[in-house]
Structures are given as C-alpha cells and as structure tokens.
C-alpha cells in the first residue's frame, strides 16, 4: 500500500532521467491531492552555510527533487526541538519552525544524523505516482531503517536493489547509463 513513510526506489529502467536515475525517495505526503517526497541519496555540492551565510553549519544539502529547486526543505528526527513539525512515520518528521532550526544549528545542537536539508522536492499530482508505479518506474518499499538520515547515501539505491532480489541483483553493478557500456 502506498502511503507516507514509504521509500520509492527508482527502477533501473529509468536511467535516462537525470533527476531520478538511481534515486531513493522518502515519501512525506500521499493523499487525494497528490504526493510529495525527497530524494534522500543525492548530496549536492552545497552546505547550509553556502545557501544561508548567517547559519554557522556545514551540514550537506541534498538534491531533493526537480520541483522548487530554489527552496530549502528539511526532514528530521527532533520534533521536540522543532515546533510545528509534521509526522511522516515513526520517528521521522518534515518541516517545522525554521527559526528554531537556525538557532539549533548556530548553537551546534543538531547533528547530521538528526536533520537533512534539501533543495527542491519530488511531487506528483493526484494518481500520477500510482500511474508511474503501474508503469514500473518505482519499487515501493518499507522504510526499515531505524534512522534513514544515518544511511550512507551513495550505497542506498544499490542496497535496496539487492534486498529486492531477483533480476534487480543484476543491476547493482551496472554503469549509471548502460547505453555507454
């Protein structure tokens, strides 16, 4: 069943889509209006201080998806420190009071295992994601990570394919673009 908190693992067949090739997305919303998620395994070249100089932190900013790439978003595990957080699943939240986040970062009270920042997000209109799943663009998986923010991003897609077994195991060592092989 598709609902928030699930992982969407890009099918190997979508290698031609630069935004989603080898992506793993944490679904943060899924309802009749559509779906929202963040690509959790694609770090950018930026840190938070690069984007907001008044924040004294070198937390890495991830490429969250191709929608609103000029906006900063975040997911976290500390709703007791960040007012107005929105629950995604057991122990993981998104959004909240950014002023509180800024103060916590400037006082060195948030580790990278507690929060992850994103430029942009992934978004689907009503039923669009369901159609993409039917077209075999995504593998829907349970988020079985105790802390998805603590997982090594570079190996996440590969690890999820190995867990999927079968034909997916053949893809784990393939080049990013098999046409170039």
- Specify if 122 maps to a domain: yes
Each residue's pLDDT tens digit, 103-128: 999 999 999 999 999 999 999 999 99
Residue 2 falls inside a structural domain: no
Both tokens of residue 181?
A: 């092989």
The CATH number of whichever domain residue 68 belongs to comes to 3.40.1740.10
Number of domains in the chain: 1
> In terms of Cα–Cα distance, which of 61, 65, 62, 60 is closest to 21?
65
**53-107: pLDDT as tens digits:** 999 999 999 999 999 999 999 999 999 999 999 999 989 999 999 999 999 999 9
Q: Is residue 96 part of a domain?
A: yes
* Residue-number span of the structural domain to which 135 is assigned: 7-180
For 84, counting Cβ atoms within 10 Å of its Cβ (0-12 exposed, 13-18 middle, 19+ buried), the class is exposed
At residue 180, the pLDDT reads 53
124, 34 contact by CB (below 8 A): yes
Beta carbons within 10 angstroms of residue 146's beta carbon: 9
Cα–Cα dist 168/162, whole Å: 7
Residue 162: its H or E element: helix 153-164
Given this model, what pLDDT does residue 19 score? 84
Q: What's the mean pLDDT in 22-41?
A: 96
| 37 pLDDT higher than 70 | yes
pTM for the whole structure: 0.92
């Amino acid at each position: 069943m598709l609902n928030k908190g699930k992982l969407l693992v890009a099918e190997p067949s979508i290698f031609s889509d630069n935004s989603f090739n080898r992506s793993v997305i944490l679904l943060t919303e899924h309802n009749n209006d559509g779906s929202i998620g963040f690509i959790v395994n694609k770090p950018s070249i930026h840190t938070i201080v690069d984007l907001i100089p008044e924040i004294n932190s070198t937390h890495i900013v991830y490429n969250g998806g191709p929608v609103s790439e000029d906006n900063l978003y975040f997911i976290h595990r500390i709703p007791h420190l960040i007012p107005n957080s929105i629950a995604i699943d057991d122990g993981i939240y998104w959004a909240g009071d950014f002023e509180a986040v800024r103060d916590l970062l400037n006082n060195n009270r948030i580790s990278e295992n507690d929060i992850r920042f994103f430029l942009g997000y992934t978004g689907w209109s009503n039923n669009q994601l369901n159609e993409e799943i039917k077209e075999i663009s995504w593998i829907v998986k349970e988020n079985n990570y105790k802390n998805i923010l603590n997982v090594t991003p570079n190996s996440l897609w590969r690890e999820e394919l190995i867990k999927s077994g079968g034909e997916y195991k053949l893809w784990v060592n393939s080049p990013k673009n098999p046409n170039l092989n």
